[in-house]
């Protein structure tokens, strides 16, 4: 019977051990490198996701602002500077709309103003008529008050809105004059002509509202003049619609 001989297991050489250690270290380094690259990629993906979310939120917030909905809040006195700011914004909307002339845009001006300069205010009044003739629908409304010149500007829109707790103030045209007697008399005559134009603006809109059926008791020019002579005439929202000085209470 042959004798079974077991060969002793060969021990790895030092060179082989060193090679194995080197390969193990290399594998661990590569694993750490892959892990670091994975972490970096995940971080970059997260940063990109957050940037996308931020951009979308910014866009949403921008689109929610009044300027993108063509709403202008006129919350100061009527002056050359405040009128110019309003006209600049309306012109911006009008020029954007000119890119799609078949779709005129709606615009809204919300007044909460104590009034001011009649001459400066009439610049905006006429400009709104230009926009209306171009096909833009202009809504004028008031929150708080549309006083004095702001009350006149309220009449400039296609549709006039007075919010429930808002007020209108109407009174005679106010002015100051100095100089010679003749110069003062000339100024008085000029102001009388302005006042007649203002009364015409109010009475024409009252008449139109009566014809449209929104005003139950539209005021005439004579009635308007009688009611505002030598006093500040404050008008609540319901009365404004009843008399034809506004079209709707909201």
Q: What domains can you pick out in the chain, each with its CATH number? A: 65-249 (3.90.226.10)
d(CA 38, CA 239): 71
The half-sphere exposure of 230 on its side-chain side, counting CA atoms within 13 A, is 0
Instruction: Give the residue with greater pLDDT, 62 vs 95.
Output: 95
CA 165 to chain centre: 22
In the three-class reduction of DSSP (H, G, I as helix; E, B as strand; rest coil), residue 178 is classed as: coil
Instruction: Give the residue with greater pLDDT, 18 vs 73.
Output: 73
According to the model, what pLDDT value does residue 180 have?
73
pLDDT, tens only, 107-158: 999 999 999 999 999 999 999 999 999 889 999 999 999 999 999 999 999 9
d(CA 147, CA 226): 18
According to the model, what pLDDT value does residue 66 have?
55
Q: Which are the contacts of 150, defined by CB distance < 8 A and separation ≥ 6?
A: 74, 78, 111, 113, 114, 115, 116, 121, 142
The dihedral over CA atoms of 220, 222, 226, 231, expressed in degrees to the nearest 10, equals: 70
C-beta separation of 170 from 151 below 8 A:
yes
For residue 54, give Cα distances in angstroms to 51, 61, 156: 5, 10, 41
51: pLDDT strictly greater than 80: no
CA 84 to chain centre: 16
d(CA 36, CA 53): 25
């Amino acid at each position: 019977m042959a004798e079974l001989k077991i060969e002793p297991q060969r021990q790895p050489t030092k060179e082989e051990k060193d090679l194995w250690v080197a390969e193990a270290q290399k594998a661990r380094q590569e694993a750490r490198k892959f892990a670091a690259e994975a972490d970096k990629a995940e971080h970059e993906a997260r940063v990109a996701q957050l940037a996308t979310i931020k951009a979308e939120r910014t866009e949403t917030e921008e689109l929610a602002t009044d300027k993108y909905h063509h709403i202008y809040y006129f919350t100061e006195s009527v002056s050359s500077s405040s009128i110019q700011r309003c006209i600049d914004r309306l012109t911006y909307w009008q020029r954007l709309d000119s890119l799609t002339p078949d779709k005129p845009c709606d615009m809204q001006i919300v007044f909460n103003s104590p009034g001011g300069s009649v001459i400066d205010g009439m610049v905006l009044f006429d400009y709104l008529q230009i926009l209306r003739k171009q096909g833009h629908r202009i809504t004028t409304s008031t929150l708080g008050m549309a006083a004095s010149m702001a009350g006149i500007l309220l009449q400039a829109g296609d549709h006039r809105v007075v919010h429930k707790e808002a007020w209108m103030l109407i009174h005679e045209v106010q002015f100051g004059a100095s100089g010679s007697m003749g110069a003062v008399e000339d100024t008085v005559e000029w102001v009388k002509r302005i006042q007649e134009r203002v009364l015409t603006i109010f009475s024409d809109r009252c008449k139109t509202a009566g014809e449209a059926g929104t005003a139950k008791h539209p005021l005439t020019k004579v009635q308007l003049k009688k009611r505002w002579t030598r006093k500040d005439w404050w008008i609540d929202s319901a009365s404004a619609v009843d008399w034809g000085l506004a079209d709707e209470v909201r």
